[in-house]
Structure 1
Amino acid sequence: MKKLTQISTVLLASTVLLAGCGGGPKTTDNAASTAASGGSKEKVKLTIWHNWSGQDAKALAMRKILDDFKAQNSDIELEIEGLPTDGLKTRLKTVAAANEMPDLFVMWPDAMTKEFVSGNLLQPINEFLDSKPEWKGNFIPNALDGYTVDGKIYSVPMNLSPTSFIYYNKALFDQYKVQVPKTWDELTAAVKTFNDNKVIPIALGNKANWAVQSTIFSSIADRTTGTEWFLKAAKQDGAKFTDPEFIQSLTTLKSLGDSKAFQDGFNSIDQNQMRQLYFQGKAAMFIDGGWAMADVVQNTPKDVLANTHVALLPPVNGGKGEAQTTSGVVGTGLGVSKKLTGAKKDAALKLFYALSGPEGQQATLNSSTLVSYKIDLDPSKAHPLFVELNDLMKTTKITPVYDSKLSSATVEVINNGLQELLMGGNPEAIAKKIQDSQASSLGK
């Protein structure tokens, strides 16, 4: 989940945006006050934090919606802050601890939603959704589940986030007579051939340590253990992370690292730098979520883009999971601060609808980003590579990404543990740390 949850330095969390920092009298939460002279309505001020800070097509599309909203709503003043995904996650957790949430903010389904609800930080949007039944009824099945707690809905997905695809350069595969891997043995053989020819087999950027967990390990683990085992282990109900099948999934990832599948220094570069290695033709593959497509179609050099295709990780030998799957979640949503009332709440919901309503969903799809909303893709208006990805998803099942089901504390343990594993760490020792953390988080 850029892309679940895909953090960054805690120093980013030290500054909190303050609504109403401009001149003049402040707007109340209950209503926009009327100025003493002229009877004009004072602006409602809203803070919004998002992760559309890059130059990919999705980020550009979302920022355009924000710009258009400002131009069309002179009575609403937006204080906007864009952060990279890892920085946003860190910042949100910090302000959540202090109960100083922005008015609107991009957030993630399942684990983050549940934790924010338990912290009394979010307000449900059931009434607002029910007022727009055509919108509410057009999401794909189960799309709202990750934002639903005890029957109350707290957001809707603004995209669909499968987290694990192989993006590969077919020209390099053809040049070195390598098969696009459909089995684990073929993947291992491809890694060896590319290494022998001094081509990076799989570019990796794991500086933000969620990347390996979200984009590679969650799928490897599901293919090894099966989904049912993981859901039991996450609940600590009949399965443990020290079980042999989970240790085998860690061993499989370690073997991939030991085979030099990834370039040296992968823990010191981010995903943008990872993609640059691929864009420059230095890497045959990279593994990333569906969110990467918006960057690929926008910024890949034409010669590389023309030869780029997408595939799924192959099945793991002896694994219990399904092959035609990718880990993922329904996608990020917008959280509405529990503190909002009156005119400020109305303004926030208006912006919420602009970004995640039908027009926002269409803009997202048009930016080569998958959505959890029922819209037909027009192949004549979409990049062929996005059409390829969209068609692949029609036959691909989404399995849980680890950071959407585990506690925040355990997510940190597994993210750090996978970094350690790829640097030579012991699978059994790392498995025990993960098990101890999840059991402690659930009081078991």
Structure 2
Amino acid sequence: MRKVKKWTTILAAAAMTMGMMACGTGTTSEEPKQQETDQTEEASVTEDAATEGDLKGEFSIMVFHSDDPSATDASAAYWIMANKFMEENPDVIINTEYVAHDDYETKLKTLIAGDSLPDVFLTKGDNLPTLVEGEMILPVLDDIKSVPGWYESYVPGAFDDGTYEGEAYTIPFQMQANTVVVYNEKVWADCGYDEFPATYQELLEAVPKVKEAGYVPIALGNSGQWVAEGALFNTFAYRYVDKAWFDGIKSGDGSAKFTDPQFVQALTDFQALATAGAFNDDMNSIDDSEMTAMYYNGTAASFINGAWAVSDIIKNCPEDIKANTRLCLMPSVDGQSGARENVSGGAGWGYCLNSKLEGDNKKAAEAFLKYVTTGEYANVCLEQGYFSAAVSSDVDDSKLDPFFKEYKEIEETMNFMPIFNVQLPSELISEEWADMQELLINKMTPDEMAERMQQAIEDTYE
């Protein structure tokens, strides 16, 4: 297996990238929006993660979980449990920094480059080579397994996305699909379809009919760059390539390349959707919330996003639209071997512990993370219309929204596949995200994008 280049080199590159971004040449994101909430609480221990005496200590944490009352899914569940923990443990001081999701990765890379990370923070697996080889974070499994029942509280595979060279470094809080199709069945019926097209070919044929009826076929908000690749293309690519191909890409052993014909074909067919007018013209100028708004206000016939969209629909979708809203899997592709049930998904993000964290502060942080990722948290997530990474128990089905139950039935048919932007190097993903924007507006060919991605991953490995 190839090794990632030395972390000092990667940090230098990250610092240069952040400098370019500050000058407005490297990203479409705005400056990170920060909202610091210093929460000082003190109390006796109630969690097993504290190994001796009363639970006390202080730590900082950076999250993208919004505490806005309209927040849904993991954000709502996190704050319900975090506030409860702080009420029960007033001797623990938690200094929280909130960063909006679309700004979070830029902020995180800046902190990595400056070696100024908080005590606890969220990351994806693509940052682990830099963080681990730079000795910036701690492995987590030994401590988790030392607490009776903690490790067993997670569902199988929960730690996979946060594992680097056989060692787990992140504590998971979710297990979710990155792709689910949300569509208005009345609109599609008016256009001559009983349901969302089941195949790519049928979808291409449907696009002009939906446009003629006055709707955007599929709303897309890709100003943050992650939606087109993370919520759409990653799963679409698994219609053309399989896990063995992905494993070859990840290992860097030369058995698979982005320039392989099947991957180039996936790029070609995905671009064809945009060329046919499946997406809104301003797809690279609006974000995912504006994308969702297009569906809620009746402008769009459908949109595609991760499972987090389900809880937002439950809480924020207008009732007349919600009444006609249905969910389905992304279409299959005739002539390609990838099953429709293949969906990119998993834990994705997870909590990291700074290697400088120790003593009572470390015990307090671990107790907090146990509290906000397992136990009651799992049931709270389900009530919010969201799947955690923890085992739930004694769930009252009457508290679950019928729409979430519909999604739950669909997810049970899914075969989760590796998430590109979680398990592949961040340098490659930055290239892919930027190139995808160009591909969708025909400023880059599929062959050019494949070659750039292949060069990016080769440059990342020694």
In 1: Cα distance, 2:352 partner to 2:210 partner: 44
Contact 1:329 1:404 in 2 (8 A): no
| SS class of match (2:95) | strand
Contact 1:19 1:45 in 2 (8 A): no
Letter of the structure 2 residue corresponding to residue 358 of structure 1: G
Contact 1:207 1:268 in 2 (8 A): yes
Matches within 5 A, 1:310-389: 310-375=327-392, 378-389=396-407
| Segments of 4+ moved more than 4 angstroms | 15-20
Aligned-residue offset at 1:152: 3.4
Aligned-residue offset at 1:19: 9.4
Contact 1:169 1:285 in 2 (8 A): yes
Partner of 1:26: none
Alignment partner of 1:12 is 2:32? yes
Contact 2:161 2:348 in 1 (8 A): no
Contact 2:210 2:216 in 1 (8 A): yes
In 2: Cα distance, 1:160 partner to 1:413 partner: 26
Alignment partner of 1:51 is 2:64? yes
In 1: Cα distance, 2:277 partner to 2:150 partner: 48
Letter of the structure 2 residue corresponding to residue 47 of structure 1: S
Letter of the structure 2 residue corresponding to residue 185 of structure 1: Q
Structure 1: segments with no counterpart, 5+ residues: 1-6, 23-40
Contact 1:234 1:438 in 2 (8 A): no
In 1: Cα distance, 2:398 partner to 2:208 partner: 39
Aligned-residue offset at 1:154: 2.2
Matches within 5 A, 1:24-63: 44-53=57-66, 55-58=70-73, 59-63=75-79
In 1: Cα distance, 2:308 partner to 2:207 partner: 25
Letter of the structure 2 residue corresponding to residue 249 of structure 1: A
In 2: Cα distance, 1:361 partner to 1:219 partner: 26
Partner of 2:284: 267
Count of paired positions: 416
Contact 1:49 1:83 in 2 (8 A): yes
Aligned-residue offset at 1:160: 1.1
Normalising by structure 2, what TM-score? Answer: 0.84
Identity of aligned residues (%): 29
Matches within 5 A, 1:46-85: 46-53=59-66, 55-58=70-73, 59-85=75-101
Aligned-residue offset at 1:354: 1.5
Q: CA 1:313–1:190 in 2, change beyond 3 Å: closer, same or farther? A: same
Structure 2: segments with no counterpart, 5+ residues: 1-26, 41-53
Q: CA 1:42–1:285 in 2, change beyond 3 Å: closer, same or farther? A: closer
Normalising by structure 1, what TM-score? Answer: 0.88
User: Which residue, out of 399, 414, 417, partners 1:396?
Assistant: 414
Partner of 1:155: 170
Deviations 1:402-434 (A, max 9, x none): 212321111011111110000102111111111
Letter of the structure 2 residue corresponding to residue 426 of structure 1: T
Of stretches 249-258 and 55-64 in structure 1, the one that deviates more from structure 2 is 55-64
Partner of 2:187: 172
User: Which residue, out of 228, 234, 244, partners 1:218?
Assistant: 234
Q: CA 1:127–1:234 in 2, change beyond 3 Å: closer, same or farther? A: closer
Contact 2:150 2:370 in 1 (8 A): no
Q: CA 1:408–1:271 in 2, change beyond 3 Å: closer, same or farther? A: same
Contact 1:226 1:322 in 2 (8 A): no
Deviations 1:274-315 (A, max 9, x none): 000101111111000011212111100111112211111111
In 2: Cα distance, 1:116 partner to 1:18 partner: 26
Q: CA 1:171–1:340 in 2, change beyond 3 Å: closer, same or farther? A: same
Q: CA 1:8–1:348 in 2, change beyond 3 Å: closer, same or farther? A: farther
Contact 1:56 1:294 in 2 (8 A): no
Q: CA 1:147–1:294 in 2, change beyond 3 Å: closer, same or farther? A: same
Q: CA 1:174–1:134 in 2, change beyond 3 Å: closer, same or farther? A: same
